[in-house]
Structure formats: structure tokens, C-alpha cells
Amino acid sequence: MYFESHAHFDDKRFKDDREELLELLPSCGIDYVINVGCDVKSSKESIRLAERYDYIFAAVGIHPHELYDMSSKTIEELRRLSEHKKVVAIGEIGLDYYYDTHPRELQQFWFRQQLRLAESVNKPVIIHSRDASQETFDIIAASNVRRGSIHCYSGAAPMAMEYAKMGFYIGIGGVITFSNAKKLIEVVEALPLEKILIETDSPYLAPAPSRGKRNDSRNLEYIVNKIAKIKQTTPEFVAEITGNNAKNLFF
């Protein structure tokens, strides 16, 4: 019923019950999960999960927080990993100016390099952007990449529409259920449902009923229900369309 387009079940917060949870999710209506890498180690772990569970697929990439040992060798390692039959995207990649863990110029350089990698291996991208909306958009627009997800979208509606015109989908997660989600609600109102993906970013960003707790894909229900309310349609229709969107992008 649900296509989870962005999760991190390799995270240490799932250490104690990962196997039990991942065995359970299909019975809770979770048809597919994209487990997203943040560095080489987590990218490899994502592939291992995808090899073990039929419904899980992997993305490989280096998050802007994780550029400590980044080099051309890292790009080649990602290229090798991307050849695995269950790797469906390059990600998550992008810019994060909120913490400025690394110099902005360095983030931009490796973002461009990973976009070029995605182009060369013909994979969609999963984009991370925090406090860097315009720079992220400009770098993507200047590239040749036109398939991907803008994960946990935090920009304004007009930019979301421009991304949609370029061929991207907008990832909507638990933030849509927060009381201060006015801007994101405007994004969902403006976008056609055919350009929206649902995601939890597990274990992060649990929706309102569980805010502050560990998140997992079972909470997609709350996200879908909120989108359905905004769009004045049924949760079943939202789940169907967003699922088809994700299949079109990743498969």
C-alpha cells in the first residue's frame, strides 16, 4: 500500500530490533522501502539490507555532513556500488548550510561531482538541502540530471513547482503534520499529487503523534492522511498515486 521513498534502517537506533521491525513492515502495508546511504559505510549497509529483504532497495551517496575523507576514489567506490542490481539511486547528496559542517565551496564541489556520477550511471538522485534552497536549485539546474527526489522538502511552493517542471518529485515527510507546517502545506496544495513522494526519513522526523520519538515506516499513514486532507481526497488514492510516482522514478 505504501512506498517509503526515504529511510535509514541501517541507523544505530534500530540496532536492538532491526530484524524484528523489518520482518514486520510488509504486514503493515509497506510495499517498498528505499534505504538511503549517507557515506560509504551506510551505502554498503543499505545494499546488505536490500539483499536480505525483497521489498527494500538501496541508494548510495555521500551526505554533505560526511565529506571528511571524500576523494575521487570515493566517487569510484560509489560508482562500483551503484552497479548492484538493487541500487536504484545516488543519494543522499546535496548541501547543508544549517550546520556548515564543511566549507560551502567543498559541499558544492562534491555535490556537482555526485550529480555527474548519477548522470554517468543513469540513476536518479535523492537530494538533501537544508538552508541552501537557491544554491541547491541552481546547481541542479546547471547539471544534466533531471530525475530525482527533493528529500524532506523545506522550500517554498514556487520553487517546488520549478523542480516539478524539471522532472523532479518532492518528498513529503512527517513535518507536514507539525503545527508550524504552513509553508509545506502550501507546497502540497500547489503541487499535483503526481509529483509527490511520501517518506519518513526514519529514524528522524517522526510525525506529530510520535514527534520526538524514533520514527519508522509505519508512520507513513499519518503523512498520507494529512496529504489526503489537504488534497480533499482519500488516503487510499494518495497512497496509490505516490506509490506509482516512486515506481516511475526508481524502477
Query: Which runs of E-coded beta strand occur in 24-145?
Result: 30-36, 56-60, 87-96, 125-130
Tell me if 232 sits within 8 A of 193, measured CB to CB.
no
Residue 127 has pLDDT above 90, yes or no: yes
3-state helix, strand, coil in the chain (%, to 5): 50, 20, 30
What would the grid cell of residue 126 be?
Answer: 535523492
Let me know: does 153 contact 185? Beta carbons within 8 Å. Answer: no
Confidence grade of residue 192 (pLDDT, cut at 50, 70, 90): very high
Per-residue model confidence (pLDDT) at position 209? 87
Q: What pLDDT sits at residue 104?
A: 97
- Left, alpha or beta for 64 (phi > 0: left; psi -120 to 50: alpha)? alpha
- How far apart (Å, rounded) are the C-alpha atoms in residues 109 and 188? 31
Q: Taking the CA atoms of 154, 240, 177 and 183 in sequence, report the sign of the dihedral they define.
A: positive
How confident is the model over 126-149, as a mean pLDDT?
Answer: 98
**169-180 per-position pLDDT tens digit:** 999 999 999 999
Q: pLDDT tens digits, residue range 196-245?
A: 999 999 999 999 989 999 999 999 999 999 999 999 999 999 999 999 99
Q: State how far the Cα of 246 lies from the Cα of 229, in Å rounded to an integer.
A: 21
Structure-block grid coordinates of residue 134: 537557491
Please give the domain boundaries of the chain with CATH numbers for all domains: 2-250 (3.20.20.140)
pLDDT at 220: 98
pLDDT, the chain, mean = 97
Q: What strands lie across the sheet with 148-150, from one edge to the other?
A: 2-7, 30-36, 56-60, 87-96, 125-130, 148-150, 168-172, 196-198
Question: What per-residue confidence (pLDDT) applies to 150?
Answer: 98
Instruction: Reply yes or no on whether the pLDDT at 155 is more than 90.
Output: yes
What pLDDT is recorded for position 82?
A: 98
Cα 46 to Cα 99: distance, rounded to the nearest angstrom:
25
**What is the percent of the chain with per-residue pLDDT over 90, rounded to a whole number?**
98
Tell me the sheet residues that pair with 127.
93, 150
Can you say whether residue 207 is alpha, beta or left, with left for phi > 0 and alpha for psi between -120 and 50 degrees?
beta
Q: Is the pLDDT of residue 251 over 90?
A: yes
Please give the helix or strand (H or E) that residue 182 lies within, else none: helix 182-190
Does the structure show a pLDDT above 90 at 100?
Answer: no
* pLDDT for 65 beyond 90: yes
